Amino acid sequence: MAVELDHSFSTAKPVAEAYADLLDLEKVVPCVEGGRVLERTGPESVKAEIKVKMGAMSLTYHGTLEIVAQDPAAHHLVMSVKSRETGGQGHANATVTFDLDDGGGGKIHTSAQITGKAASMGEGIVVGVLDALIENFSGKLAQL
């Protein structure tokens, strides 16, 4: 199942400082509800896990988060998430694009592909859970 979501966020920090915060994956991953860094694998990549509640199910995903493109002058950043469902056959992969603006925030575009148990819950539940997860994440970005 493919899901496309758009969100905005605000911050009181100057755009260059907010952009620098996004580059710090060890700060960013815990902003995702249930997310934690397991180990740094490179200057722009980490192994991480996320625990997600979908309806009556709790799912855990392990995988990698990597910065795959960045343009500091335009305050544009692209992250790639590749994860597998622990104890299952599914995966949750995503490309997350950040575009910051000088007005104290920016936009987040998420393009996700979900398979396995999560996808079997139906598109409405998956979109609702992802939307809430990203909404919560964008609120925490303002507090970095």
Phi, psi angles (nearest 5°) of residue 126: -60, -50
Q: Which amino acid is at 95?
A: T
**Integer Cα distance of 139 and 33 in angstroms:** 11
Structural domains counted in the chain: 1
Q: Closest Cα partner for 88 from 52, 130, 123?
A: 52
Residues in the chain: 144
Tens digit of each residue's pLDDT (9 = 90 or more) over 34-57: 999 999 999 999 999 999 998 788
Residue 58 belongs to domain spanning = 2-141
What does pTM read for this prediction? 0.93
The predicted pLDDT at position 130 comes to 93
The predicted pLDDT at position 61 comes to 97
Q: Looking at the DSSP assignment, which residues form a beta bridge with residue 53?
A: 58
Q: Please, what is the average pLDDT of the chain? A: 94
The predicted pLDDT at position 15 comes to 93
For residue 112, give the CATH number of its domain.
3.30.530.20
Element (H, E) at 51: strand 45-54
